[in-house]
Amino acid sequence: KPHARLGAAHAAAGRTDAAVEAYRRAVELEPQNSLWLGELSRLQRKSEPPSSGAGATTEPIEQLKAEGNHAYAGGHYAAAAGRYTRALEALCETDGDAVLPVITQRAAASRCSFGSAERSRAVAVLLSNRCAALLRLLAYRAA
């Protein structure tokens, strides 16, 4: 709990990187806390540079997926879940609309416009990978 409070204090002071680290530690100690996991994902997204317009390319998505795979392999499940979530958000962006919320909603996949079989497969793989990371964190509800 102290790490989450420290993360909230860092976030309120505008120190996003320090807040991410504090929340990451809090999630490692209490992995079933979906509130902290959600805040970690939100802060990780905030620390990312803004995308260059609508219609994200597959390169950042593949990079985020690879980073998630690397984090998962290293046992950093909270970081992996965050990377997979960010990849899903990038994949599910619509023309000029806000990014679809895919952090904890089970119906997120149905709200993402699949478009093609390749896109449909990518969404399924990312959702599966994120669920695996969340299950390792014992965050069953979030998974």
DSSP symbol at 74: T
- Measured from the Cβ of residue 22, the count of other Cβ atoms closer than 10 Å reads 24
Q: Taking residues 135-141, what's their average pLDDT?
A: 84
Given a cut of 90, whether residue 132 has pLDDT beyond it is yes
Give the tens place of pLDDT for each residue, 110-129. Answer: 445 556 677 778 888 988 99
Does the pTM surpass 0.85? The reply is no
Q: Are 3 and 23 in contact (CB under 8 A)?
A: yes
Confidence of residue 87 (pLDDT cuts 50, 70, 90): confident
Q: Taking residues 39-49, what's their average pLDDT?
A: 76
Six-digit token string for 131:
């669920």
CA distances from 48 to 20, 26, 64, 110, 118 (A): 12, 21, 11, 26, 26
Q: What is the pLDDT of residue 138?
A: 83
